[in-house]
């Protein structure tokens, strides 16, 4: 089991709702921004706002050409922000209806884009206060969007394991991680709990990230905690801060830095990103390699 974590500093300043953290292949850190678009944080800790339509950005993904995919949770829209600063809308409706609270985009090695929609309930906080199974997952392919999973209680971050056998999802309102088998035709099987169900009583899980040993790192917001679920499903709490003395509402987690042993944690409530030194390296994201291999 990895050792317990200790904070190792912070990056960024005056950030506005840095809910999602993404580390590019060159080490640049992008965080979501309440003004729309993202904030780019370079190696000198300089922060630059890159605007994009779509209202407050929640989740951020990156394609291998550097294009950022931004989920606007308030607007229910998804936009692409190109490296040259231009943008274009990708999707705002499915089956003739508004998407709802689109939460998180994820690019798989084939180049397909996945989207999680937390809920269509308004306001969306109702779907956290009491589980409402109206969250779902879409895959955006060349022939259009495809429904991959539904009946989820506040679908949050999604990750696919390196062998591409399972899709893992943070089901926030049930305080657990679920996984769904990926079929030969790309469809997803039923959602099954992975690890404790729930993580603990009244937990709310949010962000996910893989390490090179196959461990799935999970953020939990009620106790401001970071967990690791081992491949055998055993969970270990590596850090928690119930009083929010340093970490407040950890919403996402990403590996980066030298040998990918720096852990970056994003938050809805903080104006910076907190760093930890990780005892195990993170697995590279798909956008870190052009061939899609890890």
Q: Would you say 229 and 194 are in contact if contact means Cβ atoms under 8 Å apart?
A: yes
* Structural domains of the chain, count: 1
Q: How far apart are CA 285 and CA 159, in angstroms?
A: 10
Structure-derived torsion over alpha carbons of residues 126, 129, 132, 134, reported in degrees to the nearest 10:
50
CATH number for 86 = 2.120.10.30
* pLDDT at 3 (0 to 100): 61
> What pLDDT is stored for residue 291 in this prediction?
45
* Domain annotation covers residue 242: yes
Is 206 known to sit in a ligand binding site?
Answer: yes
pLDDT of residue 2: 62
The answer to whether the beta carbons of residues 150 and 171 sit under 8 Å apart is: no
Buried b (16+ CB within 10 A) or exposed e, 106-141: bbbbeeebbbbbbbbbeebeebbeebbbbbbbbbbe
Q: Is residue 249 part of a domain?
A: yes
Do the domain assignments include residue 2? no
Residue 4: what pLDDT?
87
pLDDT at 289: 57
Query: What pLDDT, on the 0 to 100 scale, is given for residue 286?
Result: 74
Does 146 reside within a domain?
yes
**pTM, entire model:** 0.95
Does 293 map to a domain?
Answer: no
Find the Cα–Cα–Cα–Cα dihedral 237, 241, 247, 252, rounded to 10°.
30
Query: Is 156 among the annotated ligand-binding positions?
Result: yes
Instruction: Write down the pLDDT at residue 109.
Output: 78
Catalytic machinery residues: 206
* Series of mean pLDDT values for 10-residue runs along the chain (294 residues): 82 98 96 98 97 97 96 98 98 97 92 95 96 97 93 97 92 98 92 98 98 97 98 97 97 95 97 96 76 42
> Would 294 be classed as within a structural domain?
no
Report yes or no on 272 lying in a domain. Answer: yes
Domain range holding 245? 7-288
83: exposed, middle or buried (C-beta count within 10 Å: 0-12, 13-18, 19+)?
exposed
**241 known ligand binder:** no
């Amino acid at each position: 089991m990895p050792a317990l974590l200790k904070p190792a500093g912070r990056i960024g300043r005056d950030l506005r709702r840095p809910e999602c953290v993404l580390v590019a292949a060159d080490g640049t850190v992008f965080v979501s921004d309440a003004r729309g678009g993202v904030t780019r944080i370079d190696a000198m800790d300089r922060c630059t706002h890159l605007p994009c339509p779509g209202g407050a950005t929640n989740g951020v993904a990156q394609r291998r050409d550097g294009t950022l995919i931004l989920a606007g949770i308030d607007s229910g829209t998804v936009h692409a922000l190109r490296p040259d600063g231009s943008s274009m809308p990708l999707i705002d409706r499915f089956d003739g209806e508004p998407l709802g609270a689109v939460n998180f985009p994820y690019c798989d090695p084939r180049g397909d884009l996945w989207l999680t929609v937390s809920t269509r309930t308004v306001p969306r906080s109702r779907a956290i206060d009491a589980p409402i199974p109206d969250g779902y997952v879409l895959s955006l392919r060349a022939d259009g969007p495809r429904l991959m999973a539904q009946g989820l209680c506040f679908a949050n971050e999604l990750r696919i394991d390196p062998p591409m056998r399972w899709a893992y999802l943070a089901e926030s309102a049930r305080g657990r991680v679920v996984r769904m088998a990926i079929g030969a035709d790309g469809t997803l099987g039923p959602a099954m709990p992975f690890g404790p169900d729930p993580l603990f009583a009244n937990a709310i899980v949010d962000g996910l990230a893989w390490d090179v040993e196959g461990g799935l790192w999970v953020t939990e917001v009620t106790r401001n905690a970071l967990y690791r679920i081992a491949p055998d499903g055993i969970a270990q709490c590596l850090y928690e801060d119930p009083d929010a003395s340093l970490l407040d509402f950890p919403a996402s987690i990403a590996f980066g830095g030298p040998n990918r042993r720096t852990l970056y944690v994003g938050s809805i409530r903080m104006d910076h990103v907190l760093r930890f030194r990780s005892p195990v390296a993170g697995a590279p994201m798909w956008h870190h390699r052009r061939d899609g291999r890890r």
